[in-house]
Amino acid sequence: MKPTEYIYLTPMPVRIWHWLNALGIVTLCITGLQIRFPEYVNIFGTYKAAIRLHNTAGIVVSISYFLWLFYYMFVTRSLAKLYVPNLEDIKRGFLRQALFYCFYYFKGSPNPHHETPDNKFNPLQKAGYLVIMLVLLPLVIFTGILIMNVAPLRELILVAGGIKMLVSAHYLIACSFLAFLFVHVYLATMGHTPFAHFKPMWTGWEESEGHH
């Protein structure tokens, strides 16, 4: 039997960002539920307490987002390489990966994508993470900052379509985050063992597939 190979996939700053961000987003979803449906949900005592925790978690998620962006853009400079699907991904990769997730995985076939530190995401991960990290997260942060500062940012809010429009957009984006979260956690269990993808998110090291 060949010895198990390990690859260093996830550097420490990304791991710290990821779990802080996950905690922040989960906190935002739960407090957001109480803020949106106060007549049905009361987890944090008062309405005011839910808003205070929601705002704090929002600030933590926003700051850690900009650190994440800075790290990938200026320290490792690998944002485009890791997160943007290439032509081959679009032509064949999306379909191949979707077939694996929906069909071949259940027949026991190996994942068609082989992770390396330079190409750690499969085509669908690239597309999904790109939309989440470069479209939805910035949008939810932007709308959140506006809603938190209604008085000083009045003019900007009017340009953005008014407070009702803003609150609806913030809520709809938040719903897509919740949907992403369930899919993300489910797909993350589809490694060669259920925790194979969780380990590198904690230790940085992934056991190379195919040596089991």
DSSP 80-134: HHHHS--HHIIIIIHHHHHHHHHTGGGGTPPPS---BTTB-S-HHHHHHHHHIII
> C-beta of 176: minimal distance to ligand HEM in Å?
10
Neighbours of 202 (CB within 10 A): 12
Question: What is the helix (H) or strand (E) element at residue 205, kind and residue range?
Answer: strand 205-207
Per CB under 6 A, residues contacting ligand HEM are 10, 14, 18, 21-22, 25-26, 125, 129, 132-133, 137, 181, 184-185, 188, 197-198, 201
CB-nearer residue toward ligand HEM: 54 or 157: 54
> C-beta of 95: minimal distance to ligand HEM in Å?
19
> C-beta of 130: minimal distance to ligand HEM in Å?
9
Q: Pick left, alpha or beta for residue 121 (phi over 0 → left; psi -120 to 50 → alpha; otherwise beta).
A: beta
Measure the CA–CA gap between 120 and 101, rounded to whole angstroms: 17
CB-nearer residue toward ligand HEM: 157 or 206: 206
> C-beta of 75: minimal distance to ligand HEM in Å?
13
> C-beta of 25: minimal distance to ligand HEM in Å?
4
CB-nearer residue toward ligand HEM: 111 or 157: 111
Q: Are 27 and 57 in contact (CB under 8 A)?
A: yes
CB-nearer residue toward ligand HEM: 50 or 126: 126
> C-beta of 70: minimal distance to ligand HEM in Å?
14
CB-nearer residue toward ligand HEM: 25 or 157: 25
Q: DSSP class of residue 109?
A: P
Closest CA to 147 of 129, 165, 135: 165
CB-nearer residue toward ligand HEM: 146 or 174: 174
Question: What is the helix (H) or strand (E) element at residue 8, kind and residue range?
Answer: strand 6-8
SS3 content of the chain, % helix, strand, coil (to 5): 65, 5, 30
